[in-house]
Amino acid sequence: QKEVEQDPGPLSVPEGAIVSLNCTYSNSAFQYFMWYRQYSRKGPELLMYTYSSGNKEDGRFTAQVDKSSKYISLFIRDSQPSDSATYLCAMTPSGSARQLTFGSGTQLTVLP
Protein backbone atom coordinates (compact mmCIF):
# COMPACT_ATOMS: atom_id res chain seq x y z
CA GLN A 1 0.00 0.00 0.00
CA LYS A 2 1.33 3.43 -0.94
CA GLU A 3 1.92 5.83 1.94
CA VAL A 4 -0.21 8.55 0.37
CA GLU A 5 -2.85 7.90 -2.27
CA GLN A 6 -4.50 10.57 -4.36
CA ASP A 7 -6.82 10.19 -7.31
CA PRO A 8 -4.90 11.65 -10.27
CA GLY A 9 -8.05 12.74 -12.12
CA PRO A 10 -8.27 14.53 -14.42
CA LEU A 11 -11.20 16.35 -12.84
CA SER A 12 -13.16 18.83 -14.94
CA VAL A 13 -15.84 21.10 -13.45
CA PRO A 14 -17.79 24.16 -14.60
CA GLU A 15 -16.92 27.57 -13.21
CA GLY A 16 -18.64 28.21 -9.88
CA ALA A 17 -18.77 24.54 -8.87
CA ILE A 18 -17.63 23.23 -5.52
CA VAL A 19 -14.56 21.03 -5.94
CA SER A 20 -13.62 18.24 -3.55
CA LEU A 21 -10.10 16.83 -3.61
CA ASN A 22 -9.04 13.97 -1.36
CA CYS A 23 -6.08 11.97 -0.13
CA THR A 24 -5.80 8.89 2.01
CA TYR A 25 -2.72 7.80 3.89
CA SER A 26 -1.48 4.77 5.74
CA ASN A 27 1.17 6.15 8.12
CA SER A 28 -0.50 7.05 11.43
CA ALA A 29 2.59 9.08 12.40
CA PHE A 30 1.61 11.87 9.98
CA GLN A 31 0.58 14.91 12.01
CA TYR A 32 0.86 17.87 9.66
CA PHE A 33 -1.06 18.08 6.42
CA MET A 34 -0.64 20.46 3.53
CA TRP A 35 -2.19 21.22 0.20
CA TYR A 36 -0.09 22.62 -2.60
CA ARG A 37 -1.14 23.94 -5.99
CA GLN A 38 1.18 23.35 -8.92
CA TYR A 39 0.79 25.00 -12.28
CA SER A 40 2.37 23.29 -15.26
CA ARG A 41 6.17 23.29 -15.05
CA LYS A 42 6.18 25.45 -11.92
CA GLY A 43 7.02 24.84 -8.28
CA PRO A 44 4.39 23.75 -5.74
CA GLU A 45 2.67 26.70 -4.06
CA LEU A 46 1.52 26.22 -0.47
CA LEU A 47 -2.25 26.70 -0.14
CA MET A 48 -3.25 25.26 3.21
CA TYR A 49 -1.48 23.92 6.28
CA THR A 50 -3.30 22.03 9.03
CA TYR A 51 -2.31 20.16 12.13
CA SER A 52 -4.09 17.01 13.28
CA SER A 53 -7.84 16.58 12.85
CA GLY A 54 -10.33 19.34 12.12
CA ASN A 55 -11.18 22.01 9.59
CA LYS A 56 -9.38 25.11 8.43
CA GLU A 57 -10.85 27.74 6.15
CA ASP A 58 -9.06 30.38 4.08
CA GLY A 59 -11.20 32.32 1.65
CA ARG A 60 -12.67 29.91 -0.89
CA PHE A 61 -10.55 27.02 0.40
CA THR A 62 -11.37 24.64 3.25
CA ALA A 63 -9.06 21.87 4.39
CA GLN A 64 -10.37 18.96 6.43
CA VAL A 65 -8.40 16.30 8.26
CA ASP A 66 -9.90 13.11 9.69
CA LYS A 67 -7.08 11.25 11.37
CA SER A 68 -9.33 8.42 12.53
CA SER A 69 -10.05 7.59 8.88
CA LYS A 70 -6.62 8.70 7.62
CA TYR A 71 -8.38 10.93 5.13
CA ILE A 72 -7.84 14.56 4.18
CA SER A 73 -9.83 16.81 1.87
CA LEU A 74 -9.58 20.17 0.19
CA PHE A 75 -12.76 21.96 -0.85
CA ILE A 76 -12.76 24.84 -3.30
CA ARG A 77 -15.91 26.96 -3.37
CA ASP A 78 -16.96 29.09 -6.33
CA SER A 79 -14.20 27.58 -8.47
CA GLN A 80 -12.59 29.81 -11.06
CA PRO A 81 -10.72 29.02 -14.30
CA SER A 82 -7.60 30.32 -12.56
CA ASP A 83 -7.93 27.41 -10.10
CA SER A 84 -7.05 25.05 -12.96
CA ALA A 85 -3.87 23.33 -11.80
CA THR A 86 -2.60 20.15 -10.20
CA TYR A 87 -3.35 19.91 -6.47
CA LEU A 88 -0.90 18.00 -4.32
CA CYS A 89 -1.49 16.79 -0.81
CA ALA A 90 1.57 16.45 1.40
CA MET A 91 2.14 15.34 4.95
CA THR A 92 4.86 14.96 7.54
CA PRO A 93 5.28 13.21 10.89
CA SER A 94 6.29 16.28 12.87
CA GLY A 95 6.82 19.98 12.55
CA SER A 96 10.54 20.44 12.47
CA ALA A 97 12.64 19.80 9.38
CA ARG A 98 10.91 16.62 8.39
CA GLN A 99 10.49 15.42 4.86
CA LEU A 100 7.16 15.91 3.15
CA THR A 101 5.52 12.88 1.60
CA PHE A 102 3.43 13.89 -1.40
CA GLY A 103 0.45 12.40 -3.14
CA SER A 104 0.62 12.01 -6.89
CA GLY A 105 -1.57 15.09 -7.46
CA THR A 106 -5.04 15.65 -8.91
CA GLN A 107 -5.25 17.59 -12.16
CA LEU A 108 -8.17 20.03 -12.02
CA THR A 109 -9.67 21.99 -14.91
CA VAL A 110 -12.33 24.62 -14.26
CA LEU A 111 -14.22 25.38 -17.44
CA PRO A 112 -15.45 28.95 -18.04
The site for another protein (CB under 8 A) is made up of 32, 34, 36, 41-46, 49, 88, 90, 92, 94-105
Nearer to another protein, 37 or 79 (CB): 37
CB of 88 to another protein, least distance (A): 7
DSSP 3-state of 82: helix
Nearer to another protein, 84 or 102 (CB): 102
Rg (CA), the chain: 13
Beta strands in 15-102 (DSSP E): 19-25, 32-38, 45-51, 54-58, 61-66, 71-76, 85-92, 101-102
Nearer to another protein, 70 or 98 (CB): 98
